[in-house]
A and B are shown apart, each in its own frame.
Chain A
Amino acid sequence: MTVKNSLTPLEAQITRIEEMTSIEKLFYLKLIDLNTVKEFHYTPGQFLEVSIPGVGEAPISICDVQREHGRLQLCIRKVGRVTNAIHRLKKGDRLWIRGPYGNGFPMNLMENHDLLLIAGGLGIAPLRSVLQYALLHRNSYGSITVMYGVKCYSMMLFREEFLKLFREGDKLNVKFLLAYEDSDDFQCYQLSCERSDRCMSGLVTKLIESTAITPDNTYAVVCGPPIMYKFVVKELTQRGFTPAQIYMTMERRMKCGVGKCGHCITGSSNSIKYVCKDGPVFTYWDALKTRGLM
């Protein structure tokens, strides 16, 4: 008896690996089973459960926009059991994925608006898919501003891609701004000499402080380490962004990704949220209604 179980991981092959930093690699995947390829659609902000048989599963955001059916990219930081095992894999090796899960960003709702993308560290991974989507449908969105906070130059993800945007983004009506924490970082310093209004030393909030942004007709999309949200949201609300104009994507422990295992539960009894299925994308308004979400 062969039963179709939508929760059974599908086989995928690694077609390419790029080492991005000392702890992060970019994996290019291709789904193997042609029948599943056709049904495999994802939108920016959705994630997969990636598994290595015998080691375990980890939720990972898809970091590119869907172009070709059955192909996708994952940017993975090695931090523990599963992610270490993924980092040991070579080009041509297989891993297993299920998904995509989660609500993703409301790309339709955001059409005809300006986009302000704010990311810290690895948080750029899901936002890159938003950026790529907006660039792919360039006429549907207004101006795009990206604010990216990194520790230092060597920790900057998608470096070439983003440096190109940093220098030539204006052609596409994209402003790319960079903040770096390590004030002694020479390469970042050089970038700041190139465009002092686009690259500065400090936290990502510094970029918000020193850039003229207005909430009119704009959606802010934020992703980064949990501690970042509070500060970013404060800056944005001070500038008049309403809680419904701020989108954020959240991290929690996740075992199932589909609202069953309970690990991603958050909130109090008047508003319980399962970050995997009710999110991972929430508005700041959701966060205000749900205790502990942010």
Chain B
Amino acid sequence: MTETENNLKPRIGVFSLTGCAGDQLMILNLEDTLIELLSKFDIKSFQEASSYSENTNLDIAFVEGSVSTEHDLKTLKNIREKSSLLIAIGDCAVNGCVQAMRNKQTSIAERMIDVYGVEDNIYKTFEPKGVGEYVKVDFEIPGCPIEKEEALNALISLLNGDAPLIPDYPVCVECKLNGYPCVIIEEGKPCLGPIITAGCDARCPGLGLDCVGCRGPIKGETNAKAELEALRKRGYADKYIINRLRFFAGNFDDIQILGVKENSKGDK
């Protein structure tokens, strides 16, 4: 490969903040296409963000994990400054994901006592949030973990110079396109599909399981109250529904509102 060809390739970096590095693994899992894929990029950094040192400018930075510490935030801001495009990959980076389950429900101090037995915030943690809360995010690829196909298509779009296409409609759409029986209608299961971002091809309902919401709610479209209402009608307790909603979506305002109300009923 000649020098110029190499220079034309998009320079990319993949970085982890606080998360399980599951999304990086997902990208590495694209085995068959991986080598071909990687050869089209000039990879400047593919590592835990903690060891990020290179000061090269990037065309695209992929960031996974939520912002949970001062250190995360500093790294993130640095990455943003050095990159033309910043793409949040995985729910943690998109909206805080599982880590945000208890946000605004219990204080950090309470959680420190629960987990470490001390009230002091020894790790300088704060409520985990998506990277979009702190810096401008150009695109978001949701999922916990992200979907291989979707990630691949997003990378192809980026290589071609186009914006990635990420669904902004709910899982129900994919359910219907596949002709899967609806588990709410047929079996009264507590499916979150109606408010969750599609892209998984309705994997769970396809197996007869209710959607747990692992791809996060659709931003700006989530009717959490309706979900509460629909599941209540099918006999589920508020507390159960709200915990279920919070599991992957603790940072969503309309879901937090439900949470606050429930807390005020005196539940722990």
Contact = CB atoms under 8 A, between A and B. Distances in A.
B161 A84 contact: yes
B161 A85 contact: yes
A84 B161 CA distance: 9
A238 to B, nearest CB: 39
A138 B220 CA distance: 52
A65 B165 CA distance: 36
State which size class the interface on A falls in.
Answer: under 10
Nearest to B156: A54
State which size class the interface on B falls in.
Answer: under 10
Contacts of A54: 160
B141 to A, nearest CB: 16
Interface in B149-170: 160-163, 165
A54 B163 CA distance: 12
A88 B163 contact: no
A8 B142 CA distance: 34
Interface string A66-97: 00000000000000110011001000000000
A55 interface: yes
Contacts of A81: 162-163, 165
Contacts of B161: 84-85, 88
Interface of A: 54-55, 80-81, 84-85, 88
Interface of B: 160-163, 165
**Shortest 5 CB-CB distances between A and B: which pairs?**
A81-B162, A81-B163, A55-B162, A85-B162, A88-B161
Given A55-B160, A81-B165, A85-B162, 6 more contacts: A80-B163, A81-B162, A81-B163, A84-B162, A85-B161, A88-B161
13 contacts: A54-B160, A55-B160, A55-B162, A80-B163, A81-B162, A81-B163, A81-B165, A84-B161, A84-B162, A85-B160, A85-B161, A85-B162, A88-B161
